[in-house]
Homo-oligomer: A and B are copies of this chain.
Amino acid sequence: MSETDKAPGVALIGTGFMGKCHAMAWNNVATVFGMPRPRLEVLCDVTDASARTHAAAFGFRRATADWQAAVGDPAVDIVSITTPNGLHRPMAEAALEAGKHVWLEKPMALTLEDAKAMAALSAARPGQVTMLGYNYRRSPAFQAARALITAGEIGEPRAFRGVYDEDYSADPALPWSWRLTREGGGLGALGDLGCHLVSQMLALMGPVAELTAMTQIAIPQRPSPEGPKPVENEDSALALIRFASGAQGSFATSRVARGRKCRLQWEVHGSDGTLVFDQENMNELWLHRTGEAGFTRHLTGPEQPDFAAFCHGAGHNFGFNEMKVIEARDLLAAIDGAPNTGPDFAEGLAIERIIHAMAASEGRPVTLGEAT
């Protein structure tokens, strides 16, 4: 970061679903949290024309179709990477090698080897912050849940029950694409959805010691212009988890669960209470504590972490995109010297180890290393 300008410079690569979400976050992180406004230096998209259009709308000063130029831009301190998964490794490595901080959408990489290499590079550059886009960890309800557990409000956590189901692949008429191959798409539901659930599970329950999983390809073939082609990555997965703490858990994810839209749902059973959450109603946290009559609906409100900066009124509903604003704040704070709330690339590798272990288990127990 240049001496004359305390605010960091940002490059954003990608303008799709998550690209726009990053753009909203970069525009509002200072508005919301009262920090120095980041300089939105350069926007990178596939074509120059698209980059220019989006740069104008997103409030970036310059536009380019050359991601390497963006990554190497001297005015840039942070690179936001929101491109297809196969580009995560080269872009993140180039950004790290150019001395930049990296904000990378999940999943970290297509393969476990890629993730290991990226984590190794990041470890070698401790002064550069890495942050993965596990935005569901930022929501006020999730943060409140974590704080309640840490404070002992539900006693000792003994069991975790988690699912993340959507239905975006449920229609068998959806055409085959490279996303459904191992090489092009990596893991399936585990890589798209399951990794989010793992990221929350680790934050709530601590490291995984052992797991047993089974996966399913519910729709083995998809139509293509050349005729039906095989689907190579899983439509759903189930797992049993043994945590290092001694707690136990169940885990499920599916991309073919009809009617489910963003059902990232879990419960934690403690010795003195139970917490329940469902991302489809992300402004509700349900808590029961010993001695209480039943479950109480805690609506997101200003007494929950980070909500008050957005709104003074409980029950006024925090939104999906706003989680990314908190993530940007956490990234900027880490760059400024605060502890990295993560997941950074090291924790990201732990998440990858777990979902790859699930994909490989085929019903047999797999022991995880200490890092996870």
Q: Chain A interface (Cβ within 8 Å of chain B)? A: 17, 20-21, 23-24, 27-28, 30-37, 53, 56-59, 154, 158-159, 161, 163, 165-166, 168, 170-172, 210, 212-214, 216, 218, 236, 238-240, 242, 248-250, 252, 254, 256-263, 269-274, 279-284, 287-290, 292-299, 301, 310-322, 363-365
When the two chains form the complex, which single residue of B59, B280, B288 contacts A259, counting CB atoms closer than 8 Å? B288
A243 to chain B, nearest CB (A): 11
Across the interface, name the chain B residue whose C-beta is closest to A314.
B261
How far is B364's CA from A210's CA once the two chains are assembled, in angstroms?
A: 12
- Residues of B near A27 (CB, < 8 A) are 27-28, 31, 59
- Residues of B near A288 (CB, < 8 A) are 258-259
Across the interface, name the chain B residue whose C-beta is closest to A17.
B312
Given contacts A30-B59, A161-B163, contact A316 B262 (CB under 8 A): yes
Interchain residue pairs with CB less than 8 A apart (30):
A24-B32, A27-B27, A30-B59, A31-B58, A34-B57, A37-B56, A37-B59, A159-B216, A159-B236, A166-B313, A238-B250, A239-B240, A240-B240, A242-B363, A256-B271, A259-B288, A259-B292, A260-B274, A261-B301, A261-B314, A262-B314, A262-B316, A281-B284, A294-B297, A294-B299, A296-B297, A317-B319, A319-B320, A319-B321, A321-B322
Given contacts A249-B238, A259-B273, A315-B262, contact A287 B293 (CB under 8 A): yes
B59 touches A32 (CB 8 A): no
A293 to chain B, nearest CB (A): 5
A248 touches B238 (CB 8 A): yes
How far is B266's CA from A31's CA once the two chains are assembled, in angstroms?
A: 33
How far is B258's CA from A289's CA once the two chains are assembled, in angstroms?
A: 7
- Residues of B near A310 (CB, < 8 A) are 319-321
How far is B317's CA from A257's CA once the two chains are assembled, in angstroms?
A: 19
A363 touches B363 (CB 8 A): no
Given contacts A210-B363, A298-B293, A312-B17, contact A248 B216 (CB under 8 A): yes
A-B contacts besides A212-B212, A214-B248, 20 pairs, CB < 8 Å = A17-B311, A24-B31, A30-B58, A31-B58, A34-B57, A168-B313, A170-B271, A239-B240, A257-B274, A258-B271, A259-B273, A261-B316, A262-B316, A283-B317, A287-B293, A297-B297, A311-B321, A316-B320, A317-B318, A317-B319
A154 to chain B, nearest CB (A): 7
When the two chains form the complex, which single residue of B17, B28, B273 contacts A313, counting CB atoms closer than 8 Å? B17
- Residues of B near A259 (CB, < 8 A) are 273-274, 288, 292, 294-295
How far is B29's CA from A46's CA once the two chains are assembled, in angstroms?
A: 23
- Residues of B near A21 (CB, < 8 A) are 311
A254 touches B53 (CB 8 A): no
B240 touches A214 (CB 8 A): yes
When the two chains form the complex, which single residue of B36, B242, B273 contacts A214, counting CB atoms closer than 8 Å? B242
